[in-house]
Structure 1
């Protein structure tokens, strides 16, 4: 079969415009009769709020200040609808959106930001996910802070550890990570020639954006149009709604094009981060280095909102055993609400954090057994027809053995022959 694309050097259709600077990004868009928007955000991580916009509304050039009262359906979220479009009674993190200001210029919107009065009744916050799991901890939302729990149970874990010659037991932690894409969020919304609310934005999920905008405004999806402009980096950070609903609401009500451009500082507090994780691992092996058992607890801090937490913590639970056959496995993986910045999609979806744990466990076991780190991996790696901890039989695409051999050859690595202590 002749292929037109696969295996050939094809020039990207957008390459020339990007390298010459001609590509149009949302920040570059200008429309006649366009106005500008700015978001008032919470300065506290956990508080009841009362907002007074009366003074800000008097500023010359301010067209309208939107609050929760203006939102037909004041909720959104990619998996769980636990975000408010504009917070009504309570903020749950620094940066929560409280009001959306629309004015003739960006400068007048900035003035209005200073004139809006927000009375905060500060609440006790919870910032450690382990503490947040306690029933007595402050509740970020109304129910338990444990918003997701994924389990794996395979074999007999007690028997596995009983038969282990060496055991490694440690706790590993990874931190929150910012996407730091080059292009901060920007977008323009307007009513198109067919009467549809149109949002031009750099996004990773235009179909989800349309669904969420339509839901928040109580419209049919065919009344909403999302145009995906050039994307100046994303890495998962553009999978959640940022200002799309704010823009669409303003354009819908005002019948004028509305533009938003985030500063780098606002971008930093507006979008999701990579999940920080606490990983408690106990791994056992026999005298020859064969893995016999692994018990793991993963606690993922999803911050104030769920975002993609169930997907991320499920994948973390699946991958915590690494690319190794282990006959006896117990995994408990939790996503936990805190008053920290919310966490969501970032490249790897939970599979990125856990190698820090399972690979250090392998090195520790190798050292205890006086086996070199490559040999202990070759003993345990998945091969064709291996069975994972979730029961999946690997029938194809299992290149680990060839990969490790190639790396070892390039390193001129020679395995030790003395075996275990």
Structure 2
């Protein structure tokens, strides 16, 4: 591991000094509010804003008629109306927006807008949507996306299996619960441009989408998006930017729009709920022979990145295992539930819960150690990827498995009371980084010397809490040889940075590493040449160091002095994130691996589950920043703990059964396990030229199945639905009537 390094943004964040976009204020600023639908599915019969417009302090009310360009947004498919005109498809649909002198007046004005609805049948489950008699949410029907993968002949292979396990797994809708809810300020500029100060994971794509909505040239829209208080995929899509922008342009004044937690809950995208039916067969020696998977995803009423999430689940359906016969079919189905889209793990969490559940059940029936069973079937260093594509050689799967036994053999603590029981479990995962083959995945960066003597590095992505600033700082100072004080990092501002892709898909660290590797040689040479000209020293003896350029141990010129030159070095690079050379749609090339060890304590009287230990072994190449690495894995683990045992943004007939954090439970400090170890495996196969991989998602993937296996170890009960229900667990223990069950 590298030396400990304090995050550049660490002190201002923990002291509360840092300013997020939602903290900004501007002179003459107005406050915005959005009116959302009262029903999950209805026709709009009449809309009147007269009373709202007459309220003192109201400066603008907008409806669909005020949109000069495209009334739609969506990263891939712009199918979500900015403001609905004829029909609403979920309770988060926007119908009108208001700008007023105060937030109180804006809230009052929203209540005065009159909407007459004709309620329609609500499709609150994919099976309802798939009914041939169901109303169509789209002209083409209720299926957003269908995809699959086949290898060999699974149906025939099952005939020759000695043991088959078939199970249906259900996973919930999860809320991102970022600290900073959606919002910020849009400022109209004197030259007809606008500046959008709002958190996002992709400023340039926001700019493109807003240009279509506002009928405004992209160059007239500036997106300032860093720093922001969390995202986890939830701000990858436009949210309230269009409303604040439309209101700002209509009033000619800055407009601040900041959603409450309840507004965020209702309108924000969520993790895809899925039902996954899996049939897996082995021969008598324990070798996997056949694997059949059927995935049905509830994508809500709009597309966002639903197709890509389903494709990712399909790709990872067989995970890190060698299975000769595979058949995977997936459906992403429109409903009147919440919009489901991108979320940390991007479909990998859902499918890994099902896959690892199968592995544990098979090992149990075969009376094999779950580690030995996995080792028997895990992929080798040069084996093909899960879609049959070539991938970078990696021993990551076996590497993390080889550490599992040491964790399982740890001495088990005694239960805390006579009516509790403890159990242990492990699970592994394989996770592709980047967007995959056939997806636009631009990368790049810019390295330059400023006239103030700073080595400036610029990227077109955002800081959303993941610690990317520390990663950039570590890589740049290591590769250039300068100090932290010598550099200046610029990100998250479309007017100041090059286009270099989004803050998504665990690509940040890898992209920075590749970009710096491409730029450093030319930049260092240009800097040395400039120094040689200004000092009359021979280039071949000069090198970059802390504070300036050196010859031997002598600093011959500082970076500040170099910055006084008329022409300063600037190097830019543009490239595509590494993808498989095989034409396999969405297939990935760089993968990370994890082994998660969980220990739980189950209360046999209440069914309550306490996570005692959550340790992870991660194979993702060299560690760039130790604290950041651990923070990503620990934070991801806690988020996944919530997914496993408490979080469910449950909906009934298109309405949330809970709309705020007083009822929607997320992990707090009291839920964090006492032990949360992070063990990195840094070595890569000889000849690997791809450096460190990102770890933003891998720490979330295998947590739920490891916890569920630990629950089985403690109680003998297999769980197939998340979050684990204490009541269902009690009922199953009672049904089984194990000797230790409390009567």
Q: Give the TM interval when normalised to the shorter protein.
A: over 0.9
Deviations 1:258-304 (CA, angstroms, capped at 9, x unpaired): 11111110011121000000001111110011011111110110011
Deviates more, 1:77-86 or 1:402-411: 402-411
- Which residue matches 1:418? none
1:121-160 matched pairs, under 5 angstroms: 121-160=118-157
How many corresponding residue pairs? 408
SS at match of 1:127: coil
Distance in 2 of aligned mates of 1:342 and 1:179: 13
Deviation for aligned residue 1:46? 0.2
Distance in 1 of aligned mates of 2:353 and 2:145: 22
Distance in 1 of aligned mates of 2:251 and 2:406: 66
- Which residue matches 1:238? 235
- Which residue matches 1:403? 400
1:2-401 matched pairs, under 5 angstroms: 7-49=2-44, 50-72=46-68, 73-192=70-189, 194-401=191-398
Looking at CA atoms only, which structure, 1 or 2, has the larger radius of gyration?
Answer: 2
Deviations 1:75-98 (CA, angstroms, capped at 9, x unpaired): 111111110010111000012110
Deviations 1:210-248 (CA, angstroms, capped at 9, x unpaired): 111111011111011111142111111111111101111
Deviation for aligned residue 1:389? 4.1
Tell me, yes or no, if the aligned pair for 1:212 and 1:245 is still in contact at 8 Å: no
Distance in 2 of aligned mates of 1:70 and 1:394: 49
Distance in 2 of aligned mates of 1:201 and 1:173: 35
Distance in 1 of aligned mates of 2:285 and 2:191: 71
Distance in 1 of aligned mates of 2:74 and 2:328: 27
Distance in 1 of aligned mates of 2:284 and 2:302: 45
**Cα RMSD over matched residues?**
1.5
TM-score w.r.t. the length of structure 1 is 0.94
Distance in 1 of aligned mates of 2:313 and 2:102: 46
SS at match of 1:355: helix
Stretches of structure 2 that go unaligned for 5 or more consecutive residues are 411-743
Deviates more, 1:68-77 or 1:399-408: 399-408
SS at match of 2:231: coil
Deviation for aligned residue 1:119? 0.3
Deviation for aligned residue 1:194? 4.5
Distance in 2 of aligned mates of 1:274 and 1:33: 38
Distance in 1 of aligned mates of 2:224 and 2:3: 30
Distance in 2 of aligned mates of 1:137 and 1:254: 43
SS at match of 1:354: helix
1:206–1:384 distance in 2 versus 1, CA, 3 Å: same
Deviation for aligned residue 1:409? 2.2
Specify which structure has the bigger relative contact order, considering alpha-carbon pairs within 8 angstroms and separated by 6 or more residues.
Answer: 1
TM-score w.r.t. the length of structure 2 is 0.54
Deviates more, 1:402-411 or 1:226-235: 402-411
- Which residue matches 2:559? none
SS at match of 1:111: helix
Stretches of structure 1 that go unaligned for 5 or more consecutive residues are 1-5, 414-421
Deviation for aligned residue 1:17? 1.7
Tell me, yes or no, if the aligned pair for 2:91 and 2:267 is still in contact at 8 Å: no
Deviation for aligned residue 1:192? 3.0
Deviation for aligned residue 1:330? 0.8
Distance in 2 of aligned mates of 1:25 and 1:56: 31
- Which residue matches 2:505? none
